[in-house]
Amino acid sequence: MTLTLNPKMALAAGLMALLTLVHVFMGGPEINAPVRASALDEVVRSVSTVAWHAVTVLLTVFALGLAWVSRHANRPMEIMMIAIQLGLAGLFLVVGIADLGSVWPMPQWIGFLLIPALMVWART
């Protein structure tokens, strides 16, 4: 069986992999490490660590899922990934505005809007 590569979806997979690496190697030292080293309650620090690594798992699964759908069209899987990313973008936008008065201190929303847009474009 010959599989056809959808280059736009493959690009989305690559961008998600890049976003994952940024999360791990830039966000880890900038966000997770200071929380771990803080005087916050031990349970709060531990829950934060679980949440941090859960996001790492989610981003990794998305990158792998996008790589898979770049060769095997799967509309339900794509819709699920798009919906979750749009939800994450919304969270970054709302919390950025509500807590920080700006969307720019947490620009992750850009990736979570750009990648789903690329996914939709890949299927047109």
Q: State the burial class of residue 106 (Cβ atoms within 10 Å of its Cβ: 0-12, 13-18, 19+).
A: middle
The answer to pTM > 0.85 is yes
Structural domain includes residue 1: no
Q: State the burial class of residue 70 (Cβ atoms within 10 Å of its Cβ: 0-12, 13-18, 19+).
A: buried
Total domains present in the chain: 1
Express each pLDDT in 40-99 by its tens digit. Answer: 999 999 999 999 999 999 999 999 999 999 999 999 999 999 999 999 999 999 999 999
Structural domain includes residue 2: no
Domain that holds residue 106: 7-122
CA 12 to chain centre: 11
d(CA 114, CA 86): 10
